[in-house]
Each structure stands twice: as structure tokens, then as C-alpha cells.
Amino acid sequence: MAQRAGEGRCVVVVGCQWGDEGKGKIVDVLAEQVDAVARYQGGANAGHTVHVGAEEFILHQIPSGILHTGKRCLLGNGVVLDLVQFCEEYDKLLARGLELDGRIGVSLRAHLLLPYHRALDRAAEDQAAQKIGTTGRGIGPAYQEKVGRRGIRVADAFDDDRFRELVAEGLEAARRALPRLGEEEAKALAEETERAVELRGRILGLAVDAGKELDEGLEAGWRVLLEGAQGTALDLDHGTYPFVTSSNTTAGFAATGSGIGPTRIDSVLGVVKAYTTRVGEGPLPTGFDPEMDERMRELGGEFGATTGRPRRCGWFDGVLARYAARVNGLTGIAVTKLDVLDTLPEISVATAYRTPQGVTSDFPADTHGLDRVEPVLETFPGWESPTTGARSLADLPRNARVYLDRIEELMHAPVEMVSVGTRRSQIIHVT
């Protein structure tokens, strides 16, 4: 029998839409019961918003588990670590009174992201005929260097001379790739890069063999969460290519990006928002008309945690959700932001797409064709009553329970958690 997503000693938490599903809150809630949380891909382009009491924390690279005292938080080899942003985030958490000593580790095999990667990213997006909607945080260029075997890893920083030589080569290559860079801009970029290099000592004190630590911890009885960034539809292989991120966001990469064997993983919890959102460019088959889009954006506070960009909104896309359940091998589902739908008289779900070739329930590989599909919608009566005080399924209005049942049917996996507000306490654990 498959392990339930909230059970087992090693659980993957993965987004099942275009990111922004509320994974940070789910990890934060589950982290109380584990020993370690490890991030397995992405970089500072992620943004996890977590509310603790009256305080709001926005985390970009440090795993959400850091908000629980005593939990070990690791950044795996699949991450591209922005030296400057990481140190800024670390210092902000210290300033807010968090105890971080001995709690954060960075994989020796993680690749470093430097200021010239951000310059390359912005220039590529500015010059592109087809915009991707990148955050401009340098993620793509950093992964390009990694794949091209020109990257700089945390392990390289232990040799000062070699590290500076590698950075100088990377900076010079970036200058050649940025012919429009003026003399003053080039000088500023060199100075910014030097400031990043000077932070290397701080990273060295945190460097560990993350995969070995996780493996030994699991052997000793640890419970571990593996945390992804973005969502399934932004996966480099399985997403709406080319409107995707530069890494594999799906659960299959959790083992590779954290440095443990795949047989260590017991279960996979997929996080879905009760509706669908997307930030950046690319298709959104269930997207609302402008008026409803604006209304939902305001109801759900749908603005990017990393960039502040408004998210496009739409009905729950059951075609994408079913696809995500398959490619991630979900054993359970966490539904977030159910409360955002509380005031709607009717709620729709896409169960299939109508295409020029006919109706399909499969998520297509042809991203450009996805622009031309029409969602086949199934409409439910809303519940038009608040759910924020619910702490069990029985507390929810009947129509809300019917809606959750339909999500289960579409995704062929059980709903195990339901979020009805921003606070830790506003979670329904389904038993």
C-alpha cells in the first residue's frame, strides 16, 4: 500500500500548478514534525510566504523549516545559490531574532550564482523576441554554466586563488556576451562581483556534504522534508516549454537535487491552489476575463512574493492537476486558499480541453497549441459562507466538501490537508 503523503520518514512537497501554490506554508506546518528540511532545486527566483502569528516571513532560498526552532535546513546540490541574496536573507532572519547557529547547511556541490548571471539574465530577456517572463534573478545563466561545465561550486570556494580565477573567467565571459555594457556599467558589475566574492567565507562555514548528512540522518531515524520551488508546469522537461524555469521542479528530481537515493523517498505531497494562477509569460487555459481576473487577484492577494508582479488567475485546471499527479507520483494532496472562494456564487473546474482536433483530457506537450484550447468547464454552486474558522472537514460547508471531492477524483489522490487562511492554525488535517 502507498504511503500517505504526510507519513514516512522522507516526504517530497511539490507544486502542481505554475508555482505560487502555497508550498511554503505547507512545509512550515509539516516542519514541526520533522528533523530536517532540504531544498532541492531553483534559487532566489522562488518566494515562499509564511505567516507566524502577526509576522510575515518571505523566504527565497532558506527552507521554510527555519521558522521552527531546532530544525536542520539544507540547500541541496540542485540549488543555484545566490551568494549576495542568501547572506542578506540570513542576516534579516537574524535581525528578527531567529536562532540560526548550526541550523543551515549548504551543499558543497551546489553551484554559485554571481552578479554577472543576473546581468546576463536581464539582457537576454530584454533582447528576446519571445519573452519568457523571467524574474531576472540570474537563474537561467547559472544553470547554463552548470550544464556547460563552466560553473563554480561551493567546493571551489575553499581555494581562494582558484576561486578568484574562476570568477574572473566568468566575469570576462559575461562582458563579452554583453556588448552593450558601457564602461561605467562594466565597472559597477565588477565591483558588485567583488563584493560577492568577499562573502565566500560566510558560505564556507556552512558548507556540508548535504546528501551524506541526509542519508545518515534517515539511517538514524530522522524525518525529512524535501522542498521544491516553482511548480510542475514550470518544470524544464514536463512544463509549458519554453515558458518554464531552468531546473526540474518535479518530485523525480528531489533525490538528485538533494543527494539521496530515490528509494529513500516514502511519499509525495502535491500542493494545489483551489484555483489556478500564473506569473510571467505563457498560456493559462482557464484564465478569467479581465474583470474576474482583477477580482480574484484582490481576493487572493495574488502578487508575486519575489517580484511583486500581479499573477494571472483562472479556474482550477483539472487537466493540469491530473497530469501533475501522474508525473510526480502523488500519494496525497494539499489544497490551499480554499477560503478565497468563499464569496463566489458559482465555481468552475476544467475537466478537459476542447482543441481543433477534438476534446482531450490530456495535458498537451505543444505549448503553443495550449494557447488555442478552450477549457471544458464543470460548474458547482458556491458555498457563500466563511471557511476560515474550519478545523475539520465536518466544519466546512457541504458545497466546499463537494468541491474538494471533485479535486480528489480529478487527481486520483486523496486530499490530506486543506488551508483556509494564512495562519499556521488555519489548516485542516484530513485523517
Q: Residue 124 burial by CB count (10 A; 0-12/13-18/19+): exposed, middle or buried?
A: middle
Contact 369, 347 (CB under 8 A): no
In the numeric block, the cell 511539490 is attached to 14
Contact 328, 268 (CB under 8 A): yes
Residue 233: closest CA among 300, 297, 278, 296 = 278
Annotated catalytic residue, options 20, 28, 235, 293: 20
86/246 Cα distance (integer angstroms): 19
Contact 83, 196 (CB under 8 A): yes
Annotated catalytic residue, options 28, 48, 60, 317: 48
195/272 Cα distance (integer angstroms): 39
Side chain identity, residue 192: E
Would you call 429 a catalytic residue per the annotation?
no
Would you call 117 a catalytic residue per the annotation?
no
Contact 279, 74 (CB under 8 A): no
DSSP string, 324-351: HHHHHT-SEEEEE-GGGGTT-SEEEEEE
Side chain identity, residue 238: H
Contact 213, 105 (CB under 8 A): yes
Residue 229: closest CA among 408, 427, 82 = 82
Name the residues annotated as catalytic: 20, 48
